[in-house]
Amino acid sequence: YLGAIDAANQTFNAYVAVTHDKARDMAKASDYKLANGEGGALEGIPLGIKDLFGTEGVHTQACSHVLDGFKPRYESTVTANLWADGAVMLGKLNMDEFAMGSSNETSYYGAVVNPWRAGGSNRQLVPGGSSGGSAAAVSSWLCAGATATDTGGSIRQPAAFTGTVGIKPTYGRVSRWGVVAFASSLDQAGPITRDVRDAAIMLKSMASVDPKDTTSVDLPVPDYEAAIGRPIKGMKVGIPKEYRVDGMPEEIEVLWQKGIAWLKDAGAEIVDISLPHTKYALPAYYIVAPAEASSNLARYDGVRYGLRVPGKDITDMYEQTRAAGFGREVKRRIMIGTYVLSAGYYDAYYLQAQKVRTLIKKDFEDVFAAGVDVILTPATPSAAFGIADQDMASDPVKMYLNDIFTVTVNMAGLPGIAVPAGLDAHGLPLGLQLIGRPFDEETLFQTAHVIE
Ligand code: GLN
């Protein structure tokens, strides 16, 4: 894997730091354990880690200039869990700055290139975002699996764009401790892997209750792998009519119908459902997420971490540091966030968005209470698009529309998985999404395995 990274990383730009020595030391320790018949569930498995996870003594910058040179003195709970199970760290993976984006183009370290190309074209495509480095590295065999995070779709959308599997677990399933915060009430970590079984194995290792994250939930972590291969006969699969959005390409509809047919053939019962508040999810998300981000990002002041640009006094130093340290998209989010939280606008925007969030959650609760076991939707409204796409670059709202099928899940705190389901007319991967009941990741693995 280290050789493959050295040979291919210039092409894909998936890694922002490669930990050669650490990887060899960890692998040697694993060899020793395995030779003695010991070792954990992930013994010797080489993983890439999204740059958002704090890794002790190793590059952790959320791919932002403002964290220049930052090497934490702690290890995130997720990565500590992985190392405890024997996994080997290959390095830190590229991502959108502070996980804000859907194309991995907002990274201070430059865009990640999707290993997939449209048939007959040399045009470079984005791998999706914000976990674009994770998805590209898995898809191009530069790691066996990768950690990722999902605030509004950042695991599932890049998985769909690269033909990989990505699961965002239920909010509270995985500890957020030591992971750089974007929007704390929405952020959740999960794996990106090459197949559903790998995702089940890796999530089991990542998930834990953690006294250091008060929102982590004290429920036993099931053996997710055991769910794979269980028959889905009699399972009730909901198809939400609100996900049939205007302007959705024909091929996405075709893919969705194929998914429905596969599950039906496997014995599932297909039911039409309604999630009436879906259309408000994206606008409400783009109030809640920037509001929380503006508060979380207040700590980057040039004093405690990373970059410091000297100024004539301390206020000037703060301003100079933040002006130089944050990229355009991050600044846009901070401005939106501080605006919607400010006196006079709080009630009109933030409070309203929180109410909408409750309604979105209730839509899902009603459907699950009526007996639906799992919901099937497309993962994204299109296949991967080109790097520096003019439409998206000139209009941030077009970029935000990528999350139309994924943000509802974060708003409701539910688990969602993206699973590769076929190719478009140009040979690019497309994904389907399954949404489950809180803490019922097992049903997602069980059903996703039927689709993959
Ligand atoms: N694309 C969304 C955003 O930019 C979601 C990002 C994420 O899930 N981290 O906010």
Distance between CA 411 and CA 361 in Å, rounded? 7
Is residue 251 one of the residues assigned to a domain?
Answer: no
Residue 396 within a domain = no
What average pLDDT does the segment 48-69 reach? 98
Please confirm, yes or no, whether 185 is among the known catalytic residues.
no
* Cβ contact 285:407 at 8 Å: yes
Q: pTM for the whole thing?
A: 0.98
Confidence at residue 111, expressed as pLDDT on a 0 to 100 scale: 98
Angstrom distance (rounded) from CA 379 to CA 404: 9
> How far is it, in rounded angstroms, from Cα 111 to Cα 173?
30
Query: Does any domain span residue 351?
Result: no
SS3 assignment, position 337 = helix
* pLDDT range class, residue 120, cuts 50, 70, 90: confident
Ligand 1: lining residues by beta carbon, under 6 Å: 99-102, 130, 150-154, 182, 289, 403
Tell me: the pLDDT tens digits for 189-205? Answer: 999 999 999 999 999 99
d(CA 95, CA 299): 20
- Asked whether residue 194 is domain-assigned, the answer is yes
In a domain, 394, yes or no: no
Tell me the average pLDDT across 375-393. Answer: 93
262 beta partners: none
User: 96, 179, 403, 407: which to mutate for ligand 1, most atoms within 8 A of CB?
Assistant: 403
357-376 average pLDDT score:
98
Q: How confident is the model at residue 398 (pLDDT cuts 50, 70, 90)?
A: confident
pLDDT at 411: 98
Q: What is the CATH number of the domain that holds 182?
A: 3.90.1300.10
Residue 139 lies in a domain: yes
Residue 393 clears pLDDT 90, i.e. is over it: no
Contacts of 433 (CB under 8 A, 6+ apart): 156, 160, 376, 377, 378, 379, 405, 406, 409, 416, 417, 418, 419
CA of 268 to the centre of ligand 1 (A): 32
Tell me how far the alpha carbon of residue 186 lies from the centroid of ligand 1, in angstroms: 10
Pairing label, strands 88-93, 46-50: parallel
Cβ burial of 118 (10 Å; 0-12, 13-18, 19+) is middle
Cα 264 off chain centre by: 29
- Asked whether the CA dihedral 227, 238, 139, 190 is positive or negative, the reply is negative
In a domain, 62, yes or no: yes
Asked if 112 and 50 touch (Cβ cutoff 8 Å), the reply is no
Q: Spot the catalytic one: 64, 103, 154, 382.
A: 154
Helices 441-451, 196-206: inter-axial angle, 10-degree rounding = 160
pLDDT digits (tens, 9 = 90+) for 133-181: 999 999 999 999 999 999 999 999 999 999 999 999 999 999 999 999 9
- Domain range enclosing 77: 2-227
Q: What is the mean pLDDT of the chain?
A: 97
Buried b / exposed e along 53-79 (16+ C-beta atoms within 10 A): bbbeebbbbbbbbbbeebebeebbbbb
Average pLDDT over residues 116-135: 96
Predicted pLDDT of residue 9:
98
Whether 142 is covered by a domain: the verdict is yes
Please report which confidence band the pLDDT of residue 369 belongs to, taking 50, 70 and 90 as the band edges: very high
Output the pLDDT for position 394.
82
Residue 281 has pLDDT above 90, yes or no: yes
Select from 126, 149, 151 the residue to mutate for testing ligand 1; criterion: most ligand atoms less than 8 Å from CB.
151
Q: How many helices (H) and strands (E) does the chain have?
A: 15, 11
Residue 86 CA to ligand 1 center (angstroms) comes to 30
| 286 CB burial (10 A radius; 0-12, 13-18, 19+) | buried
Tens-place pLDDT, residues 399-423:
898 899 999 999 999 999 999 999 9
The pLDDT of residue 54 is 98
Q: What is the mean pLDDT of residues 263-279?
A: 98
Residue 46 main-chain phi, psi, to 5 deg: -80, 125
- Please tell me the total count of domains within the chain: 1
